[in-house]
Structure 1
Amino acid sequence: MTATEHDTDLLIIGAGPTGLYAAYYAGFRGLRVAVVDSLPELGGQITAMYPEKQILDVAGFPTIKGRDLVEGLVTQAATARPTYFLDRSASTLDHTGDTVVVGLDDGSRITAGALLVTAGIGKFSPRPLPAGEGWLGRGLEFFVPSFAPYADKDVVVVGGGDSAFDWAQHLEPVARSVTLVHRRAAFRAHERTVAQVRASTVELVTNAQVTRLIGDGHVSEAEISVEGQQPVLRPCQAVVAALGFLADLGALQQWGLEVHKRHVVVDPAMRTNLPRVFAAGDITEYPGKVRLIAVGFGEAATAVNNAAVAIDPSAHVFPGHSSEA
Structure 2
Amino acid sequence: MEIYDITIIGAGPVGMFAAFYAGMRKAKTNIIDSLPQLGGQLATLYPEKYIYDIPGYPAVKANELVGNLEKQLTTFNHTFHLEEEVLSIVRDEDIIEITTNKGIHYSKAVILALGNGSFQPRKLGLENAESFETKGLDYYVNDLMKYAGKKVAIAGGGDSAIDWALMLEPIASEVYLVHRRDNFRGHEHSVERLQESSVSIMTPYIIDELMEENNWLSGIQLKKVKTDETVSLSVDHLIVNYGFTSNLGQLSSWGLESSRNAIAVRSDMSTSMPGVYAAGDICSYDGKVKLIATGFGEAPTAVNNALHFINPKERTQPAHSTSLFNKTIQ
**Residues of 2 paired with 1:125 and 1:34: CA distance?**
27
User: Which residue in the other structure is 2:280 paired with?
Assistant: 281
1:49 aligns with 2:50: no
User: Which residue in the other structure is 1:128 paired with?
Assistant: 123
Count of paired positions: 316
Task: Verify the 8 A CA contact 1:29 1:319 in the aligned structure 2.
Answer: no
Structure 1 unaligned blocks of 5 or more: 321-325
User: Which residue in the other structure is 2:254 paired with?
Assistant: 255
1:208 aligns with 2:205: yes
- Choose from 218, 221, 236 the match for 1:220: 218
Aligned partner letter, 1:203: S
**Residues of 2 paired with 1:144 and 1:6: CA distance?**
40
Identity %: 39
Deviation at 1:200, TM superposition (A): 1.3
User: Which residue in the other structure is 2:112 paired with?
Assistant: 117
- Choose from 28, 31, 41 the match for 2:27: 31
Q: TM-score, normalised by structure 1?
A: 0.93
1:267 aligns with 2:259: no
Deviation at 1:6, TM superposition (A): 4.7
Aligned partner letter, 1:256: G
Deviation at 1:197, TM superposition (A): 1.6
Over residues 206-234 of structure 1, what are the superposed CA-to-partner deviations in whole Å (9 max), with x where a residue is unaligned?
11101111114321111111122522221
Task: Verify the 8 A CA contact 1:16 1:42 in the aligned structure 2.
Answer: yes
Aligned partner letter, 1:257: L
**Residues of 2 paired with 1:129 and 1:187: CA distance?**
19
Aligned partner letter, 1:287: D
User: Which residue in the other structure is 2:328 paired with?
Assistant: none
Segment of structure 1 superposing worse, 143-152 or 113-122:
143-152
Task: Verify the 8 A CA contact 1:305 1:318 in the aligned structure 2.
Answer: yes
Over residues 284-321 of structure 1, what are the superposed CA-to-partner deviations in whole Å (9 max), with x where a residue is unaligned?
1110000111110110010000000122222112256x
Aligned partner letter, 1:47: A
Over residues 230-275 of structure 1, what are the superposed CA-to-partner deviations in whole Å (9 max), with x where a residue is unaligned?
2222112211110001111111222122222111111101111112
Deviation at 1:92, TM superposition (A): 1.6
Pairwise mapping of residues 163-202 of structure 1 onto structure 2 (< 5 A)? 163-202=160-199
Aligned partner letter, 2:111: L
Q: TM-score, normalised by structure 2?
A: 0.92
Task: Verify the 8 A CA contact 1:257 1:264 in the aligned structure 2.
Answer: yes
Aligned partner letter, 2:150: K
Aligned partner letter, 1:65: K
User: Which residue in the other structure is 1:75 paired with?
Assistant: 71
User: Which residue in the other structure is 1:62 paired with?
Assistant: 58
Report SS of the residue matched to 1:80: coil
Aligned partner letter, 1:243: Y
Aligned partner letter, 1:136: E
Deviation at 1:163, TM superposition (A): 0.7
Segment of structure 1 superposing worse, 287-296 or 253-262:
253-262
User: Which residue in the other structure is 2:3 paired with?
Assistant: 7
Aligned partner letter, 2:35: L
Structure 2 unaligned blocks of 5 or more: 320-330
Pairwise mapping of residues 77-92 of structure 1 onto structure 2 (< 5 A)? 77-92=73-88
**Residues of 2 paired with 1:311 and 1:142: CA distance?**
43
